[in-house]
Amino acid sequence: MAKKNIVIIGAGFSGVYATKKLAKHFKSNPDVSITLIDKHSYFTYLTELHEVAAERVPENAIQYDLQRLFFNQKNVHLITDTITTIDYKKRIIAGKNGQYPYDYVVLGIGSEPNDFGTPGVKEYGFTLGSWEQAIKLKNHIRKAVLNGSIEQDPEKRASLLSIAVVGSGFTGTETIGEICDWKNSLAHEYKIDPSEIKLSLIEMAPTIMNMMDRKDADKAENYMIKKGINIMKNTGVIGVHDGYIDLKNGNSFKTSTLIWTAGVKANSITSKLGLELSRSGRIAVNETMESKSQDNIFVVGDVSLYDADGSGKGEPQIVQGAEASAQTAVTNIIAKCNSKPMVPYKANYQGFMVSLGSTYGVAFILNKFHLSGFFAIAMKHIVNLMYCIQIFSGYYLIQYMLHEFFRTKNNRNLMFGHISRSGNVLWTVPLRVFLGISLIGINFANISSILKILLTICGTFLIVGLFTCTTGFITFILGIILCSNGYANTIGWIIPTSLACMNGSGRSFGLDKWIVPYIQKKLGKMRYGNVKSIYKSNHN
């Protein structure tokens, strides 16, 4: 086979999937070069944007560094650049910082919010289509609540403390649900009554969450009503201003935070690429995911439109669709490289999941099972964890668990904060020190000198708070050994106590506070190399 350059543009759900699959297939083929270009040095876990916007997880929790994702795929070259045009004759992709030759392209540059030209959305409204927009929204909400909390004019105060979301699709409902979860701690922080923060979900249709099964949507609606969210159906928004919005029915509505989630359109760069376009600027593709107007340009994910049923609507712009289209493109690029026939797109939708904050959600999975509450949220976490497994990232699997379960604040996780270590580390410090002193003091006549030495080491480590988790575990084992040697009555308490001290209590008044992060940093660097903000091409 002649040398081939496969270039994937966009490291989103479809691009990362395609790159992983192509890298695996061509692993031992030096004739195939695979390049992944994105305007960022990281993949954004878009489906969790609302968690960043409403401060459930830290800002970087949804940024997955490409270096970490692809450090094992030595045949993948990472490039940080924003693609602007493609020369189809010369087969060159042009970016702001360089030019990249190609034989095959996988184009997965995603979508962006669509305000349908509604006046004022750009100037006074907020959208949720990127990491930057999520941060902007979060900062704005904090500022609005702070200003509202000290505003004495009742009209202005009501407007500052009113948050409205337009559109009840995935993004809209998950966002209002997440802000509702945040409301109490936000109110507490700015010393106001939580009931002063008014949340509204505005929908033009007579029903909300119309992408879901009606039964699930009704459950979600009842939950939102119970939580005090004002649901405004049959309500169109026709203008956004500083502090209020105009409704189609002639009324106005006070809010300083209007979050527009009422639609998406293709990435606006598509209009400059010279490819045949379809509805909402999406690129028209045939059943092999190849552009209808250019050979060897495969278009995947939100930006592509495959009109399978002839309705012009295309496949849903969701993660399952992004991955299924990426799979089709990968299969067909491999087929083309081997001069084999291409295969058509096969949809494989397994249901939907919507979270309304950290503890409640609704889901319809495998097109069979309806779940709600804890089980729906647990299922969403399982799907997200499975995604990390699918992209072979143990690092982000652990990070996900830390961010979503163990490092959450204000009880915002599926176990209502019980498994979060943020609040409970400090209170086990006295227990840890007491256990340490007791271990050193154990002096039974017939225990071996090795056991005695181990007890002294563990005791010392616990007192100074060094490697507390591991030491707690070793102490637990030593406790079992001592109990099975007939000391259960005297020191049986060591077993539960040592387990309690495995909660990382050394991070509070202990050496683990400095040593554990230091080791994590060193090990991370050894394993993954330097994670950079920009990856440059060797060609330029």
Ligand X SMILES: Cc1cc2nc3c(=O)[nH]c(=O)nc-3n(C[C@H](O)[C@H](O)[C@H](O)COP(=O)(O)OP(=O)(O)OC[C@H]3O[C@@H](n4cnc5c(N)ncnc54)[C@H](O)[C@@H]3O)c2cc1C
* 467 belongs to the binding site for ligand X (CB under 6 A): no
Kindly calculate the radius of gyration of the chain based on its CA atoms and give it in whole angstroms.
27
> Taking the complex as a whole, how short is the minimal distance between the CB of residue 355 and ligand X, in angstroms?
8
Tokens describing residue 200:
């509204």
Q: Residue 9: how many CA atoms within 13 Å on its side-chain side?
A: 28
Closer residue to ligand X (CB): 80 or 159: 80
Residue carrying the six token digits 């540059």: 109
Per-residue exposure over 223-246, b if at least 16 CB sit within 10 Å of its own CB, e if not: bbeebebebbeebebeebbebbbb
Distance CA 297, CA 308 (A): 19
Asked if 121 and 240 touch (Cβ cutoff 8 Å), the reply is yes
For residue 475, give the H/E element and its range. Answer: helix 468-482
Closer residue to ligand X (CB): 49 or 435: 49
* 12 belongs to the binding site for ligand X (CB under 6 A): yes
Among 19, 41, 47, 294, binds ligand X (CB under 6 A): 47
In three state form, how does the secondary structure of 221-259 look? HHHHHHCCCEEECCCCEEEECCCEEEECCCCEEECCEEE
Distance CA 293, CA 287 (A): 13
Task: Tell me the residue length of the chain.
Answer: 540
* 13 belongs to the binding site for ligand X (CB under 6 A): yes
> Taking the complex as a whole, how short is the minimal distance between the CB of residue 258 and ligand X, in angstroms?
16
The number of residues that bind ligand X (CB under 6 A) is 35
Closer residue to ligand X (CB): 84 or 485: 84
Asked if 83 and 50 touch (Cβ cutoff 8 Å), the reply is no
Among 22, 78, 83, 179, binds ligand X (CB under 6 A): 83
> Taking the complex as a whole, how short is the minimal distance between the CB of residue 430 and ligand X, in angstroms?
44
Report how far apart, in Å, the C-alpha atoms of 115 and of each of 124, 167, 313 are: 12, 11, 18
* 267 belongs to the binding site for ligand X (CB under 6 A): yes
Residue type, 4: K
Binding mask 49-68 for ligand X (x = CB under 6 A): xx------------------
Among 7, 32, 38, 498, binds ligand X (CB under 6 A): 38
Nearest Cα to 438, choosing from 408, 475, 413, 407?
A: 475
* 328 belongs to the binding site for ligand X (CB under 6 A): no
With contacts defined by CB under 6 A, name the span among 300-308, 361-369, 442-450, 462-470 that binds ligand X: 300-308
* 9 belongs to the binding site for ligand X (CB under 6 A): yes
Residue 297: Cβ within 10 Å count: 24
* 281 belongs to the binding site for ligand X (CB under 6 A): no
> Taking the complex as a whole, how short is the minimal distance between the CB of residue 183 and ligand X, in angstroms?
19
Closer residue to ligand X (CB): 40 or 507: 40
* 120 belongs to the binding site for ligand X (CB under 6 A): no
Positions touching ligand X (CB under 6 A) are 9-15, 37-40, 44, 46-47, 49-50, 82-83, 108-110, 128-129, 170-171, 267, 269, 301-303, 317-320, 322
